[in-house]
Structure 1
């Protein structure tokens, strides 16, 4: 059984050290020196190997793992950026051959150079990837991500609803997005405790300086507020050494805090040298000697974010401060009317039971449409009707009934199961639009259909089905649905690597 799987099963606090693979012998040697230490304050360590973090041309996690001169316990990542089912299956096969049996599945942030309106780039989103991996490798340890650092109801509510899908699809643990808001860390723990089958949570943490805050401007979904920046800048003004020491102290406190909250471990980012690890360990030992409860921890954490002459730091954006459980929004009349209109049209033409629907189904399955030219003509007809109305890109297997008639193809990443973690106050990571999943959340809430957003797991679109009419397929068979609340799972038992299944 792997180190991480053992730690999660035995409730042992664990440290996952993030490693972004670059073709640099120095970087690999430095991480090997860190991992040779084997523990942080007695907590076991494993290394998480990022996938396509900076560029599609980065070393793959498996190539990076084989580049270490000595074996290290590892959690490879799989990013869905510009990927399809066969890419994931190929990685699973390689991992199986190498005796690896754990994987963190991520949709991935914006692919460099990807601009909406240009060549469509589709992402294999994490829910579908989890379904594929769990079916192929039923005994593996699979993880996914959750970003609770959302401050508008639509984006925050949609994040948690999608996380329920991830659990239903087979996630054995969730790793949080990088964040500094302790109240949101506690919010995520409370949410998980209410699930039918709670899973371990890992908190992604980093020592934050003014320089790193500037770097994080380019990392989608990470919140660094103006008041946080002002305090970090004031620390730097004292001296670089002072700012660095304070940042390490805060990281030590944050690790202790999430441990006291009930997190299963931490995913540590930004530690690149053994010296950094040892400095962090020293501060953790210092604080563990005097902090034994959240009541003791809270004032120390708050004090670590204070500087003389500056107002108190706020961890939420000035524009909003939504918390899970608060209900403040509703759909506009237009959004609600649009849903009811399209739902009515769907019931008339696609319910497969009334006379009009049966006639339409018979018409689109005539032998006429089965020839190459006929299929092309039917595709053009469907596209000409649905694209102006819905933004349809004729994926070949329409999912509108499961997405409240908001086409997933209008998301720049083509996500159907819910939002990525990169939104900011309901704005898409690409910045040119409102996230379609925020619109979908408002609509679902207004028409009492929020269960759809957590219970219907939508498989990925296969490459060969794209740019074909979905109408014949719709009437041929009912697409299967999975109820998220009917598939609780526990951590997998120890087992040999699973044989790969197509």
Structure 2
């Protein structure tokens, strides 16, 4: 089993938190039981020391760092620059994630960026590893190949069908974009752990998977239960167990270390490639004790299965339950009739009707609109059409006028305005019981809504099949309709719609034929 240990840099540059990380990493390097030290990037949305800096120091200690590489604070140019710096420093192991939505900063909440999502970053890393091509005034240049080993996260601990399938659909996209390994989010339901492996096997996805083993204390569990650490799932039953344990003489330390060791044993028995171990204020000695005890218990791992039955109430599972082993069967659960809460049915149906009439290549309406767009481009009517389009789409879809419209990709829901993280390829890992991470109890996750809309027409698999490019900000504040018909936006490029050249200026009486 490969073991990575997650450490949190904390706020500041030379505070106790940073010195503690380096001290524990040095112990891990000497011990030899831990293969990599994982360094987080502003967990919980709180400012902290940049992971890159500590990663370089950790590498110098003789152990591999694993940098959590998030999208929340950087645009694509800064992301590319950061990757160059990491490559130059020899820091090659990356766990690419959306990142927690920022909650605090200097003089208030900072502006989130989310210019790219993890699929885009993974594609960029893949291209850098192959020798990134870039434009020059004449032709293109090519960089020397990079050496990154990049992975992605998945959260199987979701309550609803729409949330869970959204995670799996996006996982497939991440793998297709170059993810070389997978780390699960945090939970304590053994069926969900096994479900990831079964789903990946079913889809023919063959990359190593590390299961998340968190040494859970009561205070941290309470934060997770309240969804203040998005994506981490702690149930009422587990909270009650932790509450009993904290009254013990050692405040429950031995109990939580043993629980982590049992999880390690279960993961090894199920066939995981490794364990991603974390915990607040956990020492290297404690992590090594978890590994040793976990190896000892792994020979009888099946006897531990019933201790990790912490399902969410009414939670959906992709596979049917094996009532004897308390794991999963290989047969999928029936999804007939589930996830049928489709809002705005009339608007959705109307949107599909108009799309099929005018925006489907090969239709007469498409040919007519493409001709109309060519004639309108560059005239005074272009600005009028843009304003009219923006007004209508703002009233109907809360349009942000990005000019590179992704409505058709997300069941006619705008990811730029209705997803705080502007995810164009699928959900982040932070939703909880169907609610958005940023607006719990107030706003449904856009991909929960999209899944339900698509499923009403038996098209939910479209959320996996359509890889959406990042927004092209060259098109911002321009007509998305014209950009599509003129072959400029991401949808036109995906469909192979050629870009129409600008109309040649009339040369009057001096014109001549070729």
Bucket of the pairwise TM-score, normalised by the shorter protein:
0.7 to 0.9
Uncovered stretches (5+) of structure 1, i.e. residues with no partner: 1-11, 303-313, 483-502
- Alpha-carbon distance, 1:369 to partner: 4.3
Mapped partners of 2:92, 2:296: distance in 1: 37
| 1:86 corresponds to 2:77 | yes
Q: Relative contact order: is structure 1 or structure 2 higher (C-alpha 8 Å, sep ≥ 6)? A: 1
Provide the aligned length of Structure 1 versus Structure 2: 450
Q: Which residue of structure 2 lines up, in the alignment, with residue 102 of structure 1?
A: 93
Deviations 1:269-306 (A, max 9, x none): 22645xx332343354345335404323325x45xxxx
Q: TM-score, normalised by structure 2?
A: 0.80
Are the aligned partners of 2:154 and 2:184 in contact in 1 as well (CA < 8 Å)?
Answer: yes
Mapped partners of 2:28, 2:339: distance in 1: 51
Q: Which residue of structure 2 lines up, in the alignment, with residue 401 of structure 1?
A: 408
Are the aligned partners of 1:82 and 1:124 in contact in 2 as well (CA < 8 Å)?
Answer: no
Q: Which residue of structure 2 lines up, in the alignment, with residue 384 of structure 1?
A: 391
Q: Which residue of structure 2 lines up, in the alignment, with residue 58 of structure 1?
A: 48
Deviations 1:38-85 (A, max 9, x none): 469864421122223255743222223345574541122221114321
1:49 to 27, 33, 39: 39
Are the aligned partners of 2:156 and 2:196 in contact in 1 as well (CA < 8 Å)?
Answer: yes
Mapped partners of 2:198, 2:74: distance in 1: 34
| 1:236 corresponds to 2:219 | no
Secondary structure at the residue paired with 2:420?
A: coil
Q: Which residue of structure 1 lines up, in the alignment, with residue 315 of structure 2?
A: 321
Alpha-carbon distance change, 285 to 72 in structure 1, aligned in 2, over 3 angstroms: closer
Mapped partners of 2:431, 2:456: distance in 1: 22
- Alpha-carbon distance, 1:360 to partner: 2.4
Q: Which residue of structure 1 lines up, in the alignment, with residue 122 of structure 2?
A: 130
- Alpha-carbon distance, 1:219 to partner: 0.4
Mapped partners of 1:86, 1:253: distance in 2: 44
Mapped partners of 2:45, 2:411: distance in 1: 34
- Alpha-carbon distance, 1:201 to partner: 1.0
Q: Which residue of structure 2 lines up, in the alignment, with residue 76 of structure 1?
A: 67
Are the aligned partners of 1:444 and 1:450 in contact in 2 as well (CA < 8 Å)?
Answer: yes
Larger Cα Rg: Structure 1 or Structure 2? 2
- Alpha-carbon distance, 1:348 to partner: 1.5
Q: Which residue of structure 2 lines up, in the alignment, with residue 29 of structure 1?
A: 19
- Alpha-carbon distance, 1:480 to partner: 4.2
Are the aligned partners of 1:423 and 1:435 in contact in 2 as well (CA < 8 Å)?
Answer: yes
Secondary structure at the residue paired with 2:86?
A: helix
Are the aligned partners of 2:403 and 2:478 in contact in 1 as well (CA < 8 Å)?
Answer: yes
Mapped partners of 1:286, 1:129: distance in 2: 37
Alpha-carbon distance change, 119 to 364 in structure 1, aligned in 2, over 3 angstroms: farther
Secondary structure at the residue paired with 1:202?
A: strand
How is 1:119-158 mapped onto 2 (pairs within 5 angstroms)? Answer: 122-138=114-130, 140-158=148-166
Secondary structure at the residue paired with 1:237?
A: coil
Q: Which residue of structure 2 lines up, in the alignment, with residue 182 of structure 1?
A: 190
- Alpha-carbon distance, 1:377 to partner: 4.1
- Alpha-carbon distance, 1:474 to partner: 0.7
Are the aligned partners of 1:169 and 1:457 in contact in 2 as well (CA < 8 Å)?
Answer: no
Uncovered stretches (5+) of structure 2, i.e. residues with no partner: 131-146, 319-331, 496-514
Alpha-carbon distance change, 163 to 291 in structure 1, aligned in 2, over 3 angstroms: closer
Secondary structure at the residue paired with 2:116?
A: coil
Mapped partners of 2:38, 2:46: distance in 1: 18
Alpha-carbon distance change, 375 to 317 in structure 1, aligned in 2, over 3 angstroms: same
Secondary structure at the residue paired with 1:220?
A: coil
Alpha-carbon distance change, 288 to 73 in structure 1, aligned in 2, over 3 angstroms: closer
2:3 to 14, 18, 21: 14
Mapped partners of 1:287, 1:77: distance in 2: 25
- Alpha-carbon distance, 1:120 to partner: 7.7
Are the aligned partners of 1:379 and 1:394 in contact in 2 as well (CA < 8 Å)?
Answer: no
Secondary structure at the residue paired with 1:289?
A: helix
Alpha-carbon distance change, 271 to 213 in structure 1, aligned in 2, over 3 angstroms: closer
| 1:220 corresponds to 2:230 | yes
Secondary structure at the residue paired with 2:35?
A: strand
- Of 129-138 and 375-384, more deviation after overlay is shown by 375-384
Q: Which residue of structure 1 lines up, in the alignment, with residue 503 of structure 2?
A: none
Q: Which residue of structure 1 lines up, in the alignment, with residue 511 of structure 2?
A: none
